[in-house]
Amino acid sequence: MKAANKKSPSSSRKKSSAKKKAASPSSSGLKELGLKTGFIVTIDGPAGAGKSTVSKQLAESLDGILLDTGGMYRSVAYYSIREGVTSAADLGKLARRLEFDVDPEAKKLLTNGEDLGHRIRTEEVSNNSSAISKLRSVRTALTSKQRSLGKKWAKKMPVVVEGRDIGTVVFKAAPFKFFVTASPEVRAERRLAQLERQGVTGLSVKAILKQNEQRDKQDSTRKIAPLKCPDDAVIVDTSSMGIAQVVHFMGDHIRNRLLIEQE
Ligand code: DC
- The DSSP string of the chain is -EEEESSPPPPHHHHHHHHHHTTS-TTS-SGGGT-----EEEEE--TTSSHHHHHHHHHHHTT-EEEEHHHHHHHHHHHHHHHT--SHHHHHHHHHHS-EEEETTTTEEEETTB--GGGGSSHHHHHHHHHHTT-HHHHHHHHHHHHHHHHHHHTTS-EEEEESSIIIIITTT-SEEEEEE--HHHHHHHHHHHHHHTT--S--HHHHHHHHHHHHHHHHH-SSS-----TTPEEEE-TT--HHHHHHHHHHHHHHHHHHHH-
Residue with the smallest CA separation from ligand 1 atom 8 is 70
Task: Measure 167 CA to ligand 1 centroid, in angstroms.
Answer: 14
- Identify the CATH number of the domain in which residue 231 sits: 3.40.50.300
Residue with the smallest CA separation from ligand 1 atom 15 is 133
Domain end (from 156, 182, 205): 156
231 and 174 Cβ atoms separated by less than 8 Å? no
Q: What pLDDT band is residue 20 in, cutting at 50, 70 and 90?
A: very low
Residue with the smallest CA separation from ligand 1 atom 1 is 70
Looking from the CA of residue 120, the nearest atom of ligand 1 is: 4
Average pLDDT, the chain: 87
Q: Given this model, what pLDDT does residue 28 score?
A: 52
Looking from the CA of residue 142, the nearest atom of ligand 1 is: 18
Out of 42, 108, 109, 130, give the residue to mutate to test ligand 1, the one with the largest number of ligand atoms within 8 Å of its CB.
Answer: 130
Top mean pLDDT of 50-64, 78-92, 212-226 is at 78-92
Domain end (from 156, 175, 210): 156
Q: Given this model, what pLDDT does residue 11 score?
A: 32
185 plus 114 within the same structural domain: no
Q: Given this model, what pLDDT does residue 29 score?
A: 67
Residue length, the chain?
263
The residue among 126 and 16 whose pLDDT is bigger is 126
139 plus 179 within the same structural domain: no
Out of 133, 136, 177, 215, give the residue to mutate to test ligand 1, the one with the largest number of ligand atoms within 8 Å of its CB.
Answer: 133
Within 10 A of 251 (CB to CB), how many other CB atoms are there?
A: 21
Nearest to 246 by CA among 234, 260, 257: 234
170 plus 250 within the same structural domain: yes
Domain end (from 122, 156, 190): 156
Ligand 1 pocket by Cβ (under 6 Å): 47, 69-70, 73-74, 129-130, 133, 163-166, 215, 219
User: Domain range spanning residue 142?
Assistant: 69-156
3 plus 125 within the same structural domain: no
Looking from the CA of residue 47, the nearest atom of ligand 1 is: 3
Task: Measure 218 CA to ligand 1 centroid, in angstroms.
Answer: 11
Task: Measure 133 CA to ligand 1 centroid, in angstroms.
Answer: 7
78 plus 191 within the same structural domain: no
The average pLDDT across 68-82 equals: 97
pLDDT at 62 over 50: yes
pLDDT at 155 over 90: yes
The residue among 154 and 8 whose pLDDT is bigger is 154
190 plus 226 within the same structural domain: yes
102 plus 121 within the same structural domain: yes
Residue with the smallest CA separation from ligand 1 atom 6 is 70
Please state, in angstroms and rounded to a whole number, the distance separating the CA atoms of residues 46 and 230: 13
The average pLDDT across 203-211 equals: 92
161 plus 241 within the same structural domain: yes
The average pLDDT across 230-235 equals: 97
Please state, in angstroms and rounded to a whole number, the distance separating the CA atoms of residues 206 and 83: 33
111 plus 167 within the same structural domain: no
pLDDT at 117 over 60: yes
Residue with the smallest CA separation from ligand 1 atom 16 is 164
Looking from the CA of residue 52, the nearest atom of ligand 1 is: 1
Residue with the smallest CA separation from ligand 1 atom 13 is 70
171 plus 259 within the same structural domain: yes
The residue among 79 and 223 whose pLDDT is bigger is 79
The number of distinct structural domains making up the chain is 2
41 plus 23 within the same structural domain: yes
141 plus 250 within the same structural domain: no
